[in-house]
Amino acid sequence: MDELIIRNKYKVVDRTTFPCDACGACCSIYALVDLHITDIFRMSEKLGITPKEFFEKYVQVIEKDGAYTFAMNIEGGCKFLKDKKCTIYEARSDFCSFYPNSHSCFDLSQVQKKEMKPGNPGCAAHRQPDDLILVPDLERMVDSRIFYMVKETYLAQYGGVYDEEGMKAAHQKGLSQIANPRMRNIVHLQVMTEFMENIPVDEKTGEPALTKDEVKMIYQKMRENHS
């Protein structure tokens, strides 16, 4: 995405321009990485094992108030981190690939810095100007939303149990839904609505950093990037 300057103040840039130092800290200081079913299939393929083997070895089933989710425990360092590098980088989870963006929105750099784990002061995010807005890949975000919904449907049916047929069906469903233009349009609308509802607040002014029209303009720009 070409650089976009808003009100001569906020610089909006593509997530790919983030100058990551590849220090590996973010793969060690958090406790859990959220996993979608598609992540499980992609990561197991990369490792040359079955999704069931991956599930048994690496997936932690989290239960809270009767609701389940799948995650990977990375406390003390992710098992796939070697010499500060991710050994399954191309296959890493959606959650990992969006970092340091939040999973769901675009972020103002000053907010990212504040939300960054205290144990991660060395992250390159701290060197970003406060008024920078990093936007993730919109289409990948839409994929991720669809995979999230598919996972939720699976969890509602099977809880935290690995069901071979259910897993395969959910994986296939995710792949077919991300290829369905109607589904994508529905999710695009949801994403747009969430952008509107989660406009970052500029801590220096205490005001929303962007107007709704500016959010729409950024969203449009993100879409054009893929057309």
Place of tokens 């100007």: 129
> Is there binding between residue 26 and ligand SF4 (CB under 6 A)?
yes
CA-closest candidate to residue 21, choices 129, 141, 126, 131 = 126
> Is there binding between residue 151 and ligand SF4 (CB under 6 A)?
no
> Is there binding between residue 134 and ligand SF4 (CB under 6 A)?
no
Nearer to ligand SF4, 41 or 219 (CB): 41
Among 86, 183, 201, 217, binds ligand SF4 (CB under 6 A): 86
Among 1, 27, 138, 141, binds ligand SF4 (CB under 6 A): 27
Nearer to ligand SF4, 95 or 219 (CB): 95
> Is there binding between residue 22 and ligand SF4 (CB under 6 A)?
yes
DSSP letter string, 63-90: EETTEEEEEEE-TTS-TTEETTEETTGG
Bridge partners, residue 34, by sequence: 71
Is the distance from CB of 36 to CB of 71 less than 8 angstroms? no
> Is there binding between residue 33 and ligand SF4 (CB under 6 A)?
yes
Bridge partners, residue 85, by sequence: 82
Site string for ligand SF4, 36-75 (x = CB under 6 A): --------------------------------------x-
Is the distance from CB of 169 to CB of 82 less than 8 angstroms? no
Q: What tokens does 27 get?
A: 């793969």
d(CA 218, CA 121): 29
d(CA 185, CA 19): 32
Nearer to ligand SF4, 91 or 146 (CB): 91
Number of residues that bind ligand SF4 (CB under 6 A): 24
Closest separation in Å from C-beta 34 to ligand SF4:
11
**Residues lying near ligand SF4 in the complex (CB under 6 A):** 20-27, 33, 74, 78, 80-81, 86, 88, 92-93, 96, 99-100, 120, 123-125
